[in-house]
Structure formats: C-alpha cells, structure tokens
A and B are shown apart, each in its own frame.
Chain A
C-alpha cells in the first residue's frame, strides 16, 4: 500500500524554507499548493512525478549517459513540487535585475568604448583587461541601440534571512531557459487544478519576446529581418535548447558551416542559393565565432563575420565581448558600477566577495578557507570551486596553493546557507538547497521573465546546484498581483 505523502516530519531546518515559515506553517503563497498535495490519494504524488519524468523522456529532453556506448539516455533530474515566489518579492527582484542589467550594459559599452570607468579608477583597468572574456578585437564596436547584453541569466540565492543576493551574472550564452518552458508545460499536466485556482504568471511568451528582441536589434533597413540561432552543433550539451528555442521562436537553426560571408553580408546556404541573415542569436562563444579574428583553428564559426558585424550589416545577440562582465572578479564591482553609471544604490546586493588579488582580502580568505566558497574567476558549471566547509584539510591546502599561485583567478565568498525547498526523496519530502536563475531580455527595453530556472542540489546537504554536479530543476511559480 502506497504511503500518504504529507509534510509530517518535514524539517525546515536552520535555513530559509521556500514553502514553510520557521514554525512549519505554509507560507501564504504556498497554502493552496500545500493543501492540494496533502489532499492527493496515497501514491498519487509519486505517480505524477513518474508521469512527469516519462513526459520529459518522450519529449527527448535527455542526455546520453557517459560511458554507455549503447545509447542509454537519461532525463535531467526534475522535481514536480514547484518553488513559489510571491508577487511583491518578485516585483522587487525584477526592479533589482533591471537596474543591474542596465548598469552592466553601460559597463560593457564603456569598456569597449571610452573606458571612463577605468580612467576614473572605479574598476581597475588590470582587472578588466585580464578577464578571459575581454576581447581587444571588440574595442570600438557599436552594437545597434547601444545594447550589448541582450540575454542574461543572473544567478540568485537566498540567505538564511530570505534575502535575495546575486551570486553571479551570466552574460555569455546563458542556458537553461528551455527548461523553464518545458518544466512549466509538465507542471500544467501535473497540477492543472492549482493553475486554475491561483494566478501564476505565464512564461510562455518568452519565445515571442525573444523574437521581438532579435527583430528590434536588426540592422536598419531590414523591414522583415531574417533571424537565426547559431549553434555549435549536435554535440553541444545545450543542443536541445538550441533546437527548442529556434522552433519556439520560428527562426532558422544554423551551424557555422551553413553560413557564409559574401558581398559584405552574412548568408545561409539554402536549396535555392544564398539567403541573407540579419540577426544571429549566437550560442557560439567569441573564441570560436570568427577564425579570422579570434581562434584561427575554429571550425564552428563563420570566417569574416566580424567584419560584417563591424559594418553594421548583421546583428548578434549577445554582442561579441559581453563575457567581460561574466568574470567573477568583475562581478564584485557591479554595485560600484550601478552607483557610477546610474547614480543609484543597488537594489539587489552581491554576496560579500573577497578578491584574492587584493593582499588583505587574500590573507583573510586563506585564514578562513574552512568557512568560505572559493571560485575560479572564469569557470562556470560548478567547476574549479572549493566549498570550504565540505572540503577536507588536504583539499583546502591544495586549493590554497592554487590561490597563492594565481590570485587574480580566484574570488571567495562566505558560505551562504542557501534557502531550501521540499523535494521528493523516496516516498517523503525533504528540504534541499536551491538557487534561482531568472532570464532577462534587453532589446527595445529590459524584460525580466517572471520566474526562471530553480536549480536544486539533490544531494543531501549539498550547496552545489549545477546540473553537472548532480543538480536538478523545478518549475518556478511567480504569483500574480499588481505588476512592478
């Protein structure tokens, strides 16, 4: 006999729990969901979880398990219990994100333009120019509308007090938004009655907004611009997302070999000859974009495309060079950028960050490694990091040596006790740590998609939510109410 799944015995622990307050009472926005879950007959929660997993499998949102040459495939772990964000909290978050993106965009334009912020000593020139995402070849570029970071995914966490903090900015080719859309589709099947009963802000307009943004940045004079998504190809880990977004936005999915520069424009090779492309949603990194400007050995890019871009005859999102603001050292300066460019106080705080290239900060970090999270400045995906409290003395020692050897490459942050939310573990609920990656589009104006990807560290006690490190995802519900 299947067990009735309720929340008896569920322990929110010393963390901020997304569903329950400290006394174990469901938060107001979660009440309806809570009641729905406990009203389900025995076995039903697990049946719906299984149905959701099967649906993801059938939709082909899978990856091939490494080491299984016979083609064994798995879905990315997914938990059907949604994470709920209340309207007022979201509105504050949205304003903070819009402010941050506006400042970051001005920063990138400045870095490749006049360099005022460096001349004024607000951000050290050495930091900017040593960022692995800084490309001298991009100096002097002038993207349409002055917009550089068209698509951003900002990683947010919540500390023990429930306060949202920015953990990092992803301005290169942030992935994951396809899971936001797929997760929502699945959840509508899993909990249709809850969707009927409460006002959950839709995310389905992401693809049309993406298309509007791409059209908005098209070179002047293209009345019906042709947009395409440039993918590295079928072996890329995010290929599913590339196909999905191209399909949803109704644009062509192209690889470098489908494109050619001729007569000063970028064209696709079609069955009827060449066809001009006006806008590229670029999911190929700068390194590989144009072998004539960046890595000469790249086979994924399009020779000569940067010349066309400079001439303003093709637009790209994101603009080449935006990765400079992806650097985790540069991240530490974002609050200062907001004050510098906008004359405003940041609405969203960073996690307190120590820059190891500053002597005093480095000494502090090395003395407190057991309480800190240390990250390599240019890495992502949960690679190249040390979670101090979870590491062995030997691991900490080895990491300390790396920091000493290359201080510019490391930042450290106090370990944040990330908020938790219930996930299904066996036939019960347990709290697991989560973060949140909302997606922001910047074309004519800045649009924050309500919700985002909630990533969850499925390993008990783990603070690392990256899918490459055993993380899963959840649907994120932003409740309706007066808009921001």
Chain B
C-alpha cells in the first residue's frame, strides 16, 4: 500500500486510541475525587503530568483545578493531545484514506469529531459531571474498533491500524500507572489503607481491567496490579500484551518471521518484547515503578520513530530514480 496511506491509517488509529485513553484518564480521576471527599484537595494536575503535557499546561497558565484540567485535556483545541484535537487529527487522516476504510468507519469518526467539537462549545454540563461524556468517547471508539475488526479486510491496512492502536495503548497504559504515582497520598499511613485500595481499584476500572484483574489475582495488591498492567500476556490493555500483538502486526506487514528482523522497527520492538517478557515484577520495583515506565515510554517512542523511517518516509533510493 502507499506509504502515505499507511502513515495516515497508523496515525488515525493512534489518535482515536489516544482520545479514548484520555477519556479513561479523566474518568479515573473523577472517580478518585468522588471517593475521597471532604477536606482533601482534589488532585487533577497528576493527570496532566502523566500525559506528559505538564510544560504546555504551565505555559498556558491553565487553572489547576478540575475545570481547568478537564478543559485542557478534553476540549482545548490548542493542546495537541486534547480529545478534541486528537479527534480532529484522526478525522483529517481518515479523510485522506476514505477509499481504504469502510464507509461506516468514516461516518463514525466524522460524527464522533462533531460530537466532541459541539461538546467543547458548551462544556459546563460535562465539567460538572464528566462521566457521561467520557463513557460516550469510550463507547464510540470501541464501536470504531468493532467496525474495523468486522468490516475491514485483515490485510496490510488493518495491520497498520492495529500497530498504531497497540503502540498507543501500550504507551497510555504505562502512563496510567503514573497517575497513581503522581497522586500524593495525604499521609504515609494511608498507604495500604482503605483509600489506597479504592484508588487502585478506580485505576483498574478506568481501563476496564478490574474484573479481569480480580479473576487473575484476586486481592488488590500494588505489585500484582503493576505486574498485571505491565507484564500480563493475556489482558489486551497490558503493555506486554499490546507490544506482542504489535509485533505480530509488524511482522505480518513485512512477512519476516518473528524471531528474525529485517528492519530497525522489528529489531527495536523485538528487543523490547524480549525484555518485558522475561522481566519479573520485583525487578520492576527494584528499578522504581515510575523510572521503569519512563524508560518504557522512551523505548516505545524509538519504535515509533523506526516505523516512520521504515515505512512512511520516502525512500531515498526511489527519489534518486525519480530524477533520471
């Protein structure tokens, strides 16, 4: 397929996944604040830190309360990672590949974008109760994924779509662990307390992981949760599960067998999968959870860069031929 088209599918898919994950982030924090009422100050800025947009947030002088943060994360068109910006860019990309994606998918993306844009015009009700909006965003993205799965041929376009989605999701799952890290517990004695439990549960719930976690590990334990979200092979939002599936997509695209590599993207992703697959959660904690996820995010960015260089950038060899 065309390199330009492959890139558009990849980014369309990443932006959709990103929008969904931001909605999940907002949702988790919303529930956390509901569970910690009273004198405790609501903590919304950890969300911005976990998303990696703290510098921009400060630069823009946004108020650090709930309204300011939700507006920034959901509706600010000048913030490149807001839900509305993500959907706008997902739609711009989708527009250029209308001939590749199913009509129903384009219409869903188009309607989805208009929904978010209209919501951003009148956001008061959503700021007062973000649950419904976040839920709508989640559902709409799940619908689009469903259309992709059931109405698209599972060919190269599909593999690029999945690759983008899975790399984005792996990044966001690692960041959602950071939300918990950045939230300062009011008092050290709260660690291991009822409140701590509530926070971890909210976090799992936000990424639709609570039930799956319970079945797998039962009790809420921070180290088991970290293990589940980072290293689980089966849960579709765990970092390792995402990366292993992304690896399959990558190899389906190139036709290279897993275990071999034919380009830098396969090499880097293969390394990363190997490292995670043979990592114990005790090693993660020994390194420090935040430091570990931080390193993970850097390496995932390198995979993205390698994908760009391998598939999307114009091939220098071709340009030379074109100048004949």
Contacts and interface: CB of A to CB of B under 8 A. Distances in A.
Contacts of B3: 258, 269-271
A58 B107 contact: yes
Interface string A113-154: 000000000000000000000000000000000000000000
Contact residues of B: prevailing secondary structure:
helix
B311 A271 contact: yes
Given A59-B107, A71-B117, A271-B156, A247 B99 contact: yes
Interface in B278-324: 311, 314-315, 318-319, 321-322, 324
Contact residues of A: prevailing secondary structure:
mixed
A234 interface: yes
B321 A262 contact: yes
Contact of B99 (A71, A234, A252, A303): A252
Contacts of A60: 95, 106-107, 110
A255 B4 contact: yes
A262 B324 contact: yes
A261 interface: yes
A234 B110 contact: no
B2 A268 contact: yes
B221 interface: no
Contacts of A261: 322, 324
Contact of B96 (A243, A263, A303): A243
B206 to A, nearest CB: 30
A234 B319 CA distance: 23
B110 A58 contact: yes
B188 to A, nearest CB: 48
Interface string A244-267: 101100111111011011110000
A68 to B, nearest CB: 12
Nearest to A260: B322
B297 to A, nearest CB: 26
A271 B6 contact: yes
A250 B103 CA distance: 12
B88 interface: yes
A273 interface: yes
A271 B111 contact: no
A243 B95 contact: yes
B214 interface: no
Contacts of B2: 252, 254, 258, 268-271
Contacts of B117: 71
Contact of B98 (A243, A268, A303): A243
B5 to A, nearest CB: 8
A59 B91 CA distance: 12
Given A258-B2, A260-B321, A260-B322, A59 B96 contact: no
A71 B95 contact: no
Contacts of A244: 98
Contact of B4 (A250, A251, A257): A257
Nearest to B314: A269
Interface string B102-128: 010011001100100100000000000
Given A60-B107, A247-B103, A260-B321, A270 B98 contact: no
22 contacts: A58-B107, A59-B107, A59-B110, A60-B106, A60-B110, A71-B88, A243-B97, A243-B98, A244-B98, A247-B98, A250-B99, A252-B99, A253-B97, A253-B99, A257-B314, A262-B321, A269-B2, A269-B315, A270-B2, A271-B2, A274-B321, A304-B324
Interface of A: 57-60, 70-71, 229, 234, 239, 243-244, 246-247, 250-255, 257-258, 260-263, 268-271, 273-274, 303-304
Given A262-B318, A269-B2, A271-B311, 6 more contacts: A58-B114, A257-B4, A270-B3, A271-B2, A271-B160, A304-B322
